[in-house]
Amino acid sequence: MNIPSVAITQSAYNKPGKLVDHVLTIPSQEQPLRIGAMSSRYFSLIVVDLLYYGLVKRNKEEYAQKIINTRRIIQEMEK
């Protein structure tokens, strides 16, 4: 399979950045308060959600079935 890879990292020139097809860079400087760390985590989650949405949007039926199958497996594991 020829699946493109993506890294979310501080630099396109670090090891993960060099190993993938696409790099999404995030700021390397944090605010002095923990609010900066919290906001960077929040925005990283948004990026992951947008990537997921972009994939699912292309083939809704296939991914809907995969989500249903995943839920079924989790329910079986919880028994």
Domain ranges within the chain, ordered by starting residue: 1-30, 31-79
d(CA 52, CA 50): 5
Residues in contact with 12: Cβ distance below 8 Å, sequence separation at least 6, in sequence order: 18, 23, 25
d(CA 14, CA 25): 11
> In the prediction, which pLDDT does 8 show?
84
Mean pLDDT of the chain: 83
Can you tell me the mean pLDDT for 71-78? 92
d(CA 26, CA 47): 10
pTM over 0.85, yes/no? no
pLDDT digits (tens, 9 = 90+) for 29-61: 655 666 666 777 788 888 889 888 888 898 889
Q: Which two tokens stand for residue 67?
A: 């989500």
SS3 content of the chain, % helix, strand, coil (to 5): 60, 10, 30
